[in-house]
């Protein structure tokens, strides 16, 4: 990494007055103190960094704060996270929603107690995405999502042994660097070994970072978030990475440049909102065909979420053919027709993409909701003349 230590070497220049206010001799407009027309989403809202970040966000006067965390507080969290004993046993997202509500009753605070991968992607279309997660798989998903949606994102991480804080500010764009641009083969190897931080998973990485280190990361992250929302003058256009070594009091700032060998395609999508109430699968394909070419060659996918071809009952082994998008909620397949046990979807009978030519007439006549698409899902259709992306609306 090319590292430079940035320190102010001279007094900041006097603020210049520009625009009509300056021309009229009026004093410059005050900086907006409130950010009511902005929304942010915090992924990993209840953890070592996230629980310290929530109060900062709540004090910004934001319009909407979405808090995503699938986990529940345990007694071990008392020493590393910004919580008190009443939080133990409570869902993290709910506890942090309460923090926002107490500090800013006007903000629309939303708690989502699920993995972010299970949230319809369109719900992540906010002003700034903030990540305080403890695993690479979720970072990878958020990096991809931020580019697809064209949303800036700020990722924070800590390394307790070296007292290191890293905050990456990633601004999607064709020449912008992404988080993966900074990844080495070792990061990808670790991705293979680590499981996503599933609720209750024994594989979830626990950093046990000291509370002040999480708080330091959170403070930096909040400052970067505010800069993005206010689009401050002098805010660099490039993606960048800030590394603070609390052990040696050194600050390193490097630009995240796009590396040609990066494994990610860096594509940002132009999303069309599609009112889909009672819309049939055939009508969806017809609509896309007008933009992408003949509809027999069209294929359909929801990135990051497969289509399930078979459901199995874990109790009686009864199985049913199906063709549906993987459910948002685990266990959302309904009961077994024979014994009533909740059905499961075996991983080997799934596909990332459906070809229009393989869809039976019954499915073409079904609604997009019956295919498993719900409000907020982003569906991509590819044909001979290119791709189109729809965000499903009610």
Residues of this chain that bind Zn ion (CB under 5 A): 178, 180-181, 262, 264, 313, 315-316, 318, 336, 338-339, 341
State the burial class of residue 75 (Cβ atoms within 10 Å of its Cβ: 0-12, 13-18, 19+).
Answer: exposed
SS3 content of the chain, % helix, strand, coil (to 5): 30, 25, 45
User: Do 119 and 45 contact (CB within 8 A), yes or no?
Assistant: no
Q: How far is the CB of 41 from Zn ion (least distance, A)?
A: 21
| 243: number of Cβ within 10 Å | 18
Q: How far is the CB of 164 from Zn ion (least distance, A)?
A: 22
User: Which CB, 82 or 146, lies closer to Zn ion?
Assistant: 146
Distance, CA of 87 to CA of 98 (rounded, Å): 10
User: Which CB, 189 or 339, lies closer to Zn ion?
Assistant: 339
Q: How far is the CB of 259 from Zn ion (least distance, A)?
A: 6
Q: How far is the CB of 85 from Zn ion (least distance, A)?
A: 43
376: left (phi over 0), alpha (psi -120 to 50) or beta: left
User: Which CB, 252 or 264, lies closer to Zn ion?
Assistant: 264
User: Which CB, 124 or 256, lies closer to Zn ion?
Assistant: 256
- Kindly write down the DSSP assignment for every residue of 124-144, as one continuous string: G-SSEEEE--S-HHHHHHHHH
Q: How far is the CB of 263 from Zn ion (least distance, A)?
A: 7
The number of helices, as runs of H, and strands, as runs of E, in the chain is 8, 16
User: Do 154 and 167 contact (CB within 8 A), yes or no?
Assistant: yes
User: Which CB, 35 or 336, lies closer to Zn ion?
Assistant: 336
User: Do 39 and 123 contact (CB within 8 A), yes or no?
Assistant: no
């Amino acid at each position: 990494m090319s590292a430079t230590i940035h320190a102010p070497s001279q007094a900041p220049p006097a603020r210049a007055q520009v625009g009509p206010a300056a021309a009229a001799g009026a004093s410059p407009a005050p900086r907006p103190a409130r950010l009511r027309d902005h929304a942010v989403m915090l992924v990993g809202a209840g953890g070592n960094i996230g629980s310290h970040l929530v109060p900062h966000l709540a004090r910004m006067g934001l319009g909407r704060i979405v808090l995503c965390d699938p986990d529940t507080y345990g007694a071990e969290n008392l020493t590393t996270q910004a919580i008190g004993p009443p939080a133990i046993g409570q869902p993290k997202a709910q506890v942090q929603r309460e923090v926002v509500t107490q500090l800013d009753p006007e903000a629309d605070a939303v708690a989502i107690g699920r993995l972010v991968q299970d949230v319809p992607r369109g719900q992540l279309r906010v002003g700034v995405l903030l990540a305080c997660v403890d695993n690479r798989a979720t970072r990878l998903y958020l990096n991809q999502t931020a580019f697809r949606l064209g949303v800036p994102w700020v990722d924070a991480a800590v390394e307790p042994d070296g007292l290191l804080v890293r905050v990456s500010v990633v601004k999607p764009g064709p020449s912008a660097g992404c988080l993966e641009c900074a990844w080495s083969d070792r990061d990808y190897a670790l991705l293979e070994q680590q499981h996503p931080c599933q609720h209750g998973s024994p594989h979830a990485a626990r950093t046990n970072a000291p509370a002040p280190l999480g708080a330091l990361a959170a403070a930096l992250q909040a400052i970067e978030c505010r800069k993005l929302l206010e689009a401050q003058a002098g805010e660099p256009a490039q993606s960048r990475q800030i590394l603070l070594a609390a052990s040696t009091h050194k600050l390193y700032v490097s630009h995240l440049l796009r590396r040609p060998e990066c494994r990610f395609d860096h594509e940002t999508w132009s999303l069309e909102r599609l009112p889909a109430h009672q819309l049939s699968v055939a009508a969806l394909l017809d609509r896309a065909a007008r933009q992408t070419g003949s509809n027999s060659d069209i294929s359909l996918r929801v990135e990051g979420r497969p289509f399930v071809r078979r459901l199995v009952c874990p109790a009686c082994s009864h199985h049913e053919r199906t063709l549906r998008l993987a459910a948002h909620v685990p266990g959302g397949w309904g009961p077994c027709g024979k014994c009533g046990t909740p059905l499961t979807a075996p991983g080997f009978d799934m596909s990332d993409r459906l070809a229009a030519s393989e869809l039976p007439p019954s499915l073409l006549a079904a609604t997009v909701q019956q295919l498993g698409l719900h409000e907020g899902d982003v569906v991509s259709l590819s044909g001979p003349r290119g791709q189109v992306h729809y965000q499903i609306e009610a």
